[in-house]
Protein backbone atom coordinates (compact mmCIF):
# COMPACT_ATOMS: atom_id res chain seq x y z
CA UNK A 1 0.00 0.00 0.00
CA UNK A 2 0.91 3.65 -0.16
CA UNK A 3 1.90 4.80 3.28
CA UNK A 4 1.14 8.34 4.35
CA UNK A 5 1.23 10.43 7.49
CA UNK A 6 -1.22 13.03 8.71
CA UNK A 7 -0.09 16.58 8.14
CA UNK A 8 0.05 18.82 11.19
CA UNK A 9 -3.34 20.47 11.62
CA UNK A 10 -1.78 23.93 11.79
CA UNK A 11 -0.50 23.47 8.24
CA UNK A 12 -3.96 22.52 6.96
CA UNK A 13 -5.61 25.43 8.79
CA UNK A 14 -3.16 27.81 7.16
CA UNK A 15 -4.08 26.52 3.69
CA UNK A 16 -7.84 26.57 4.05
CA UNK A 17 -8.52 29.55 6.29
CA UNK A 18 -9.45 31.82 3.40
CA UNK A 19 -12.30 29.57 2.23
CA UNK A 20 -15.88 29.30 3.43
CA UNK A 21 -17.08 25.91 2.15
CA UNK A 22 -14.68 23.05 2.46
CA UNK A 23 -14.95 19.35 1.73
CA UNK A 24 -12.66 17.02 3.65
CA UNK A 25 -12.31 14.06 1.34
CA UNK A 26 -10.95 10.73 2.53
CA UNK A 27 -9.93 7.58 0.70
CA UNK A 28 -11.07 4.13 1.72
CA UNK A 29 -7.97 2.21 0.75
CA UNK A 30 -4.25 2.66 1.47
CA UNK A 31 -4.59 5.71 3.70
CA UNK A 32 -7.39 4.05 5.65
CA UNK A 33 -5.15 1.09 6.42
CA UNK A 34 -2.28 3.31 7.57
CA UNK A 35 -4.79 5.42 9.55
CA UNK A 36 -3.87 8.70 7.93
CA UNK A 37 -6.74 9.52 5.62
CA UNK A 38 -9.72 7.21 6.03
CA UNK A 39 -13.23 7.96 7.22
CA UNK A 40 -12.10 8.19 10.84
CA UNK A 41 -9.36 10.68 10.14
CA UNK A 42 -11.73 12.69 7.95
CA UNK A 43 -14.16 12.90 10.87
CA UNK A 44 -11.49 14.00 13.31
CA UNK A 45 -9.99 16.62 11.01
CA UNK A 46 -13.36 18.04 9.96
CA UNK A 47 -14.55 18.24 13.55
CA UNK A 48 -11.34 19.96 14.67
CA UNK A 49 -11.48 22.44 11.78
CA UNK A 50 -15.12 23.28 12.51
CA UNK A 51 -14.30 23.97 16.14
CA UNK A 52 -11.21 25.97 15.30
CA UNK A 53 -13.03 28.32 12.94
CA UNK A 54 -16.14 28.58 15.11
CA UNK A 55 -13.94 29.73 17.95
CA UNK A 56 -12.60 32.43 15.63
CA UNK A 57 -16.18 33.52 15.10
CA UNK A 58 -16.38 32.05 11.61
CA UNK A 59 -19.23 29.82 10.62
CA UNK A 60 -17.72 27.78 7.83
CA UNK A 61 -19.24 24.79 6.18
CA UNK A 62 -16.86 21.88 6.56
CA UNK A 63 -18.27 18.62 5.24
CA UNK A 64 -16.97 15.07 5.29
CA UNK A 65 -16.91 12.48 2.58
CA UNK A 66 -14.83 9.38 1.93
CA UNK A 67 -14.53 7.79 -1.49
CA UNK A 68 -13.65 4.20 -2.23
CA UNK A 69 -10.52 5.45 -4.01
CA UNK A 70 -9.40 8.80 -5.33
CA UNK A 71 -7.19 7.28 -8.02
CA UNK A 72 -10.06 6.03 -10.18
CA UNK A 73 -12.36 8.30 -12.19
CA UNK A 74 -15.53 6.39 -11.38
CA UNK A 75 -15.23 7.12 -7.67
CA UNK A 76 -14.24 10.74 -8.19
CA UNK A 77 -17.40 11.18 -10.22
CA UNK A 78 -19.42 10.47 -7.09
CA UNK A 79 -18.87 14.02 -5.88
CA UNK A 80 -19.66 15.62 -9.25
CA UNK A 81 -23.11 16.79 -8.17
CA UNK A 82 -21.91 18.40 -4.94
CA UNK A 83 -18.48 19.70 -5.99
CA UNK A 84 -19.82 23.07 -7.09
CA UNK A 85 -20.93 23.78 -3.55
CA UNK A 86 -17.36 23.93 -2.23
CA UNK A 87 -14.55 26.46 -2.58
CA UNK A 88 -11.86 23.96 -1.63
CA UNK A 89 -11.16 20.30 -0.96
CA UNK A 90 -8.75 18.88 1.58
CA UNK A 91 -7.90 15.46 0.25
CA UNK A 92 -6.63 12.91 2.74
CA UNK A 93 -5.69 10.47 -0.02
CA UNK A 94 -2.08 9.95 -1.06
CA UNK A 95 -0.50 12.40 -3.52
CA UNK A 96 -1.97 10.37 -6.36
CA UNK A 97 -5.49 10.97 -5.09
CA UNK A 98 -4.88 14.66 -4.38
CA UNK A 99 -3.71 15.23 -7.93
CA UNK A 100 -6.37 13.15 -9.60
CA UNK A 101 -9.09 14.93 -7.65
CA UNK A 102 -7.64 18.24 -8.81
CA UNK A 103 -7.50 17.00 -12.41
CA UNK A 104 -11.15 16.04 -12.29
CA UNK A 105 -12.28 19.30 -10.77
CA UNK A 106 -10.19 21.95 -12.53
CA UNK A 107 -11.95 24.87 -10.81
CA UNK A 108 -11.67 23.48 -7.32
CA UNK A 109 -8.51 24.06 -5.28
CA UNK A 110 -7.40 20.75 -3.73
CA UNK A 111 -5.05 20.71 -0.74
CA UNK A 112 -3.16 17.71 0.63
CA UNK A 113 -4.10 16.64 4.13
CA UNK A 114 -1.37 14.01 4.40
CA UNK A 115 2.28 13.63 3.55
CA UNK A 116 2.68 10.68 1.20
CA UNK A 117 5.72 8.69 2.27
CA UNK A 118 6.35 5.38 0.50
CA UNK A 119 5.09 2.02 -0.74
CA UNK A 120 5.31 -0.31 2.16
CA UNK A 121 3.88 -2.74 4.64
CA UNK A 122 2.31 -2.72 8.08
CA UNK A 123 5.16 -4.35 9.94
CA UNK A 124 3.43 -4.13 13.30
CA UNK A 125 0.50 -2.16 14.61
CA UNK A 126 1.49 1.48 14.25
CA UNK A 127 4.65 0.71 12.27
CA UNK A 128 5.04 0.87 8.50
CA UNK A 129 8.19 0.25 6.52
CA UNK A 130 9.22 0.69 2.91
CA UNK A 131 9.46 -2.24 0.53
CA UNK A 132 9.22 -1.07 -3.09
CA UNK A 133 10.24 1.93 -5.15
CA UNK A 134 8.41 1.01 -8.32
CA UNK A 135 11.57 0.90 -10.45
CA UNK A 136 9.67 -0.76 -13.28
CA UNK A 137 11.86 -3.90 -13.67
CA UNK A 138 11.45 -6.23 -10.78
CA UNK A 139 14.61 -8.06 -9.76
CA UNK A 140 13.24 -9.81 -6.70
CA UNK A 141 13.66 -13.19 -8.41
CA UNK A 142 17.42 -12.98 -8.06
CA UNK A 143 17.65 -11.39 -4.63
CA UNK A 144 15.75 -13.90 -2.57
CA UNK A 145 12.64 -11.75 -2.64
CA UNK A 146 14.26 -8.82 -0.83
CA UNK A 147 14.62 -5.58 -2.72
CA UNK A 148 17.99 -3.84 -2.69
CA UNK A 149 16.55 -0.88 -4.61
CA UNK A 150 14.10 -0.04 -1.86
CA UNK A 151 15.94 -1.38 1.15
CA UNK A 152 19.67 -0.90 0.59
CA UNK A 153 20.70 2.68 1.28
CA UNK A 154 23.12 2.56 -1.65
CA UNK A 155 20.88 0.52 -3.93
CA UNK A 156 23.68 -1.97 -4.44
CA UNK A 157 23.10 -4.94 -6.70
CA UNK A 158 26.14 -6.87 -5.62
CA UNK A 159 26.28 -6.19 -1.91
CA UNK A 160 26.93 -5.87 0.86
CA UNK A 161 29.18 -2.87 1.10
CA UNK A 162 31.86 -2.54 3.76
CA UNK A 163 29.48 -0.68 6.05
CA UNK A 164 27.39 -3.70 6.92
CA UNK A 165 27.94 -4.80 10.51
CA UNK A 166 26.02 -7.19 12.74
CA UNK A 167 23.23 -7.23 10.21
CA UNK A 168 22.77 -3.49 10.37
CA UNK A 169 23.33 -0.85 7.73
CA UNK A 170 25.92 1.82 8.32
CA UNK A 171 23.32 4.57 7.99
CA UNK A 172 21.90 3.69 11.39
CA UNK A 173 21.49 1.00 13.99
CA UNK A 174 17.73 0.83 13.35
CA UNK A 175 18.15 -0.07 9.70
CA UNK A 176 18.71 -3.67 8.75
CA UNK A 177 21.25 -4.29 6.03
CA UNK A 178 19.27 -5.42 3.03
CA UNK A 179 22.16 -7.49 1.79
CA UNK A 180 22.42 -9.30 5.08
CA UNK A 181 18.75 -10.17 4.67
CA UNK A 182 19.30 -11.30 1.09
CA UNK A 183 22.22 -13.54 2.00
CA UNK A 184 20.44 -15.00 5.03
CA UNK A 185 17.43 -15.81 2.94
CA UNK A 186 19.31 -17.28 -0.01
CA UNK A 187 21.23 -19.45 2.43
CA UNK A 188 18.04 -20.60 4.15
CA UNK A 189 16.58 -21.46 0.76
CA UNK A 190 19.74 -23.35 -0.24
CA UNK A 191 20.29 -20.99 -3.16
CA UNK A 192 23.65 -19.45 -2.28
CA UNK A 193 24.94 -20.12 -5.79
CA UNK A 194 22.65 -17.27 -6.90
CA UNK A 195 24.50 -14.92 -4.61
CA UNK A 196 27.72 -15.76 -6.40
CA UNK A 197 26.30 -14.58 -9.70
CA UNK A 198 27.29 -11.01 -10.53
CA UNK A 199 24.19 -8.96 -11.21
CA UNK A 200 24.24 -7.20 -14.58
CA UNK A 201 23.93 -3.43 -14.82
CA UNK A 202 20.33 -2.55 -14.21
CA UNK A 203 18.23 -0.90 -16.87
CA UNK A 204 17.06 2.25 -15.11
CA UNK A 205 15.09 3.59 -18.06
CA UNK A 206 11.90 2.31 -16.46
CA UNK A 207 12.65 4.09 -13.19
CA UNK A 208 11.41 7.57 -12.34
CA UNK A 209 14.72 9.01 -13.61
CA UNK A 210 13.47 8.31 -17.11
CA UNK A 211 10.66 10.81 -16.58
CA UNK A 212 7.04 10.25 -15.56
CA UNK A 213 5.86 6.81 -16.53
CA UNK A 214 2.87 5.47 -18.34
CA UNK A 215 1.42 2.08 -19.10
CA UNK A 216 -0.92 1.49 -21.98
CA UNK A 217 -2.58 -1.89 -22.30
CA UNK A 218 -4.00 -2.32 -25.76
CA UNK A 219 -5.94 -5.36 -24.59
CA UNK A 220 -7.80 -3.24 -22.07
CA UNK A 221 -8.01 0.17 -23.71
CA UNK A 222 -11.43 0.92 -25.18
CA UNK B 1 -24.67 3.38 49.05
CA UNK B 2 -26.03 6.78 48.08
CA UNK B 3 -23.39 9.11 46.78
CA UNK B 4 -23.85 12.51 45.33
CA UNK B 5 -21.90 13.80 42.38
CA UNK B 6 -22.40 16.99 40.35
CA UNK B 7 -25.77 17.08 38.63
CA UNK B 8 -24.53 18.74 35.47
CA UNK B 9 -22.53 15.81 34.19
CA UNK B 10 -23.90 13.40 31.69
CA UNK B 11 -22.80 9.79 31.80
CA UNK B 12 -22.27 7.96 28.53
CA UNK B 13 -21.86 4.25 29.12
CA UNK B 14 -19.46 2.23 27.02
CA UNK B 15 -18.59 -1.44 27.39
CA UNK B 16 -14.91 -0.57 27.82
CA UNK B 17 -12.96 2.69 27.52
CA UNK B 18 -11.25 1.03 24.54
CA UNK B 19 -14.50 1.77 22.72
CA UNK B 20 -13.99 5.51 23.14
CA UNK B 21 -12.59 6.92 19.95
CA UNK B 22 -11.00 10.26 19.34
CA UNK B 23 -14.00 11.40 17.35
CA UNK B 24 -16.37 10.70 20.26
CA UNK B 25 -14.40 13.06 22.46
CA UNK B 26 -14.23 15.75 19.77
CA UNK B 27 -17.94 15.46 18.94
CA UNK B 28 -18.79 16.01 22.59
CA UNK B 29 -16.97 19.34 22.46
CA UNK B 30 -18.43 20.20 19.08
CA UNK B 31 -21.87 19.65 20.54
CA UNK B 32 -21.06 22.01 23.36
CA UNK B 33 -19.69 19.96 26.27
CA UNK B 34 -17.50 21.98 28.63
CA UNK B 35 -15.33 19.04 29.57
CA UNK B 36 -15.00 15.31 29.05
CA UNK B 37 -13.61 12.75 31.42
CA UNK B 38 -12.94 9.22 30.35
CA UNK B 39 -13.22 6.91 33.33
CA UNK B 40 -11.66 3.52 32.86
CA UNK B 41 -10.56 0.56 34.90
CA UNK B 42 -7.22 0.49 36.67
CA UNK B 43 -4.25 0.12 34.37
CA UNK B 44 -3.43 -3.57 34.09
CA UNK B 45 -6.98 -4.57 35.05
CA UNK B 46 -8.64 -4.22 31.67
CA UNK B 47 -10.93 -7.14 30.93
CA UNK B 48 -9.85 -6.83 27.29
CA UNK B 49 -6.20 -6.28 28.29
CA UNK B 50 -5.48 -3.01 26.55
CA UNK B 51 -8.76 -1.10 26.31
CA UNK B 52 -7.84 1.49 28.91
CA UNK B 53 -4.36 1.94 27.46
CA UNK B 54 -5.90 2.69 24.10
CA UNK B 55 -8.24 5.15 25.74
CA UNK B 56 -5.26 6.79 27.41
CA UNK B 57 -3.59 7.34 24.03
CA UNK B 58 -6.77 8.72 22.52
CA UNK B 59 -7.22 11.09 25.40
CA UNK B 60 -3.65 12.27 24.81
CA UNK B 61 -4.44 12.82 21.10
CA UNK B 62 -7.64 14.65 21.98
CA UNK B 63 -5.74 16.94 24.34
CA UNK B 64 -3.33 17.85 21.58
CA UNK B 65 -6.12 18.61 19.12
CA UNK B 66 -8.08 20.62 21.67
CA UNK B 67 -5.02 22.75 22.26
CA UNK B 68 -4.65 23.34 18.53
CA UNK B 69 -8.26 24.36 18.03
CA UNK B 70 -8.19 26.66 21.05
CA UNK B 71 -10.44 24.75 23.42
CA UNK B 72 -7.59 23.74 25.68
CA UNK B 73 -6.18 20.35 26.60
CA UNK B 74 -7.26 20.60 30.23
CA UNK B 75 -10.89 20.08 29.39
CA UNK B 76 -10.35 16.39 28.82
CA UNK B 77 -8.99 14.03 31.41
CA UNK B 78 -8.63 10.31 31.92
CA UNK B 79 -9.34 8.73 35.30
CA UNK B 80 -8.80 5.16 36.41
CA UNK B 81 -10.62 3.29 39.14
CA UNK B 82 -12.00 -0.14 39.78
CA UNK B 83 -15.69 -0.84 39.35
CA UNK B 84 -16.35 -1.15 43.08
CA UNK B 85 -15.09 2.32 43.88
CA UNK B 86 -18.24 4.42 43.86
CA UNK B 87 -16.91 7.06 46.27
CA UNK B 88 -13.82 7.47 44.16
CA UNK B 89 -15.97 7.99 41.07
CA UNK B 90 -17.93 10.68 42.91
CA UNK B 91 -14.68 12.34 43.93
CA UNK B 92 -13.31 12.32 40.38
CA UNK B 93 -16.57 13.73 39.07
CA UNK B 94 -16.44 16.52 41.65
CA UNK B 95 -12.81 17.23 40.86
CA UNK B 96 -13.47 17.43 37.14
CA UNK B 97 -16.55 19.60 37.61
CA UNK B 98 -14.55 22.03 39.73
CA UNK B 99 -11.76 22.16 37.22
CA UNK B 100 -14.20 22.85 34.40
CA UNK B 101 -16.06 25.49 36.40
CA UNK B 102 -12.75 27.26 36.88
CA UNK B 103 -12.04 27.08 33.13
CA UNK B 104 -15.48 28.43 32.27
CA UNK B 105 -17.74 27.40 29.41
CA UNK B 106 -16.59 25.75 26.21
CA UNK B 107 -15.21 28.66 24.16
CA UNK B 108 -16.46 27.18 20.88
CA UNK B 109 -20.03 27.06 22.17
CA UNK B 110 -19.64 30.55 23.55
CA UNK B 111 -18.42 31.84 20.16
CA UNK B 112 -21.25 30.03 18.36
CA UNK B 113 -23.85 31.49 20.72
CA UNK B 114 -22.46 34.95 20.21
CA UNK B 115 -22.72 34.56 16.44
CA UNK B 116 -26.29 33.30 16.78
CA UNK B 117 -27.19 36.36 18.82
CA UNK B 118 -25.58 38.71 16.34
CA UNK B 119 -27.29 37.26 13.29
CA UNK B 120 -30.51 36.88 15.31
CA UNK B 121 -30.39 40.56 16.34
CA UNK B 122 -29.69 41.70 12.80
CA UNK B 123 -32.80 40.13 11.38
S1 LIG C 1 -5.83 7.47 -3.93
FE2 LIG C 1 -3.87 6.86 -3.05
S3 LIG C 1 -4.41 6.17 -1.01
FE4 LIG C 1 -6.30 6.15 -2.19
S5 LIG C 1 -6.45 4.04 -3.05
FE6 LIG C 1 -5.45 5.35 -4.57
S7 LIG C 1 -3.27 5.01 -4.20
FE8 LIG C 1 -4.33 4.34 -2.34
S1 LIG D 1 25.14 -1.68 4.83
FE2 LIG D 1 23.83 -3.05 3.61
S3 LIG D 1 21.92 -1.91 3.31
FE4 LIG D 1 23.44 -0.42 4.01
S5 LIG D 1 24.30 0.44 2.15
FE6 LIG D 1 25.64 -1.27 2.69
S7 LIG D 1 24.81 -3.06 1.61
FE8 LIG D 1 23.24 -1.45 1.54
Nearest CB to A55: which of B21, B27, B107? B107
Which residue of A26, A35, A48 is the best one to mutate when testing the B interface, meaning the one whose CB has the most B CBs within 10 A?
Answer: A48
pLDDT band at B122 (very low <50, low <70, confident <90, very high): very low
Which residues in chain B are contacts of A57 at CB distance < 8 A? 111, 114-115
Q: With an 8 Å Cβ cutoff, is A55 touching chain B?
A: yes
Query: What phi and psi, each to the nearest 5 degrees, are found at residue A128?
Result: -125, 140
A151, A181 Cβ separation under 8 angstroms: yes
In this structure, which ligand is nearest to the CA of A179?
A: 2
Q: With an 8 Å Cβ cutoff, is B21 touching chain A?
A: yes
- Rounded mean pLDDT for each run of 10 residues along chain A, 222 residues in total: 98 98 98 98 98 95 98 98 98 98 98 98 96 96 96 96 97 96 97 94 90 95 88
Q: What is the pLDDT of residues B50-71, one digit of tens each?
A: 999 999 999 999 999 999 999 9
* Ligand 1 neighbourhood includes A67 CB (under 6 angstroms): no
Q: What is the pLDDT of residues A15-61, one digit of tens each?
A: 999 999 999 999 999 999 999 999 999 999 999 999 999 999 998 99
Match domain A2-118 to its CATH number in 2.40.50.1020, 3.40.50.360, 3.40.50.2300, 1.10.260.40.
Answer: 3.40.50.2300
* Ligand 1 neighbourhood includes A76 CB (under 6 angstroms): no
In this structure, which ligand is nearest to the CA of A97?
A: 1
The boundaries of every CATH 3.40.50.2300 domain in chain A are: 2-118
| Nearest residue (CA) to ligand 2, atom 7 | A160
Amino acid sequence: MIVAEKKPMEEIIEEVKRFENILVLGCNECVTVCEAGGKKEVGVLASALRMFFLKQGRKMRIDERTLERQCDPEYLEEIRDVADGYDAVVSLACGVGVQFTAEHYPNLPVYPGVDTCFMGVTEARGMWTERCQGCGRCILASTGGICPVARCAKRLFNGPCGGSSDGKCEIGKDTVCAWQLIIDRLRALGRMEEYERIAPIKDWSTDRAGGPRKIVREDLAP
Amino acid sequence: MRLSYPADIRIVRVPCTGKVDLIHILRAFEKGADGVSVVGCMEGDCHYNSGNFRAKKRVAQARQILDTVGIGADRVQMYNLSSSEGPRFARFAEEMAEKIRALGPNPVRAAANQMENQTGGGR
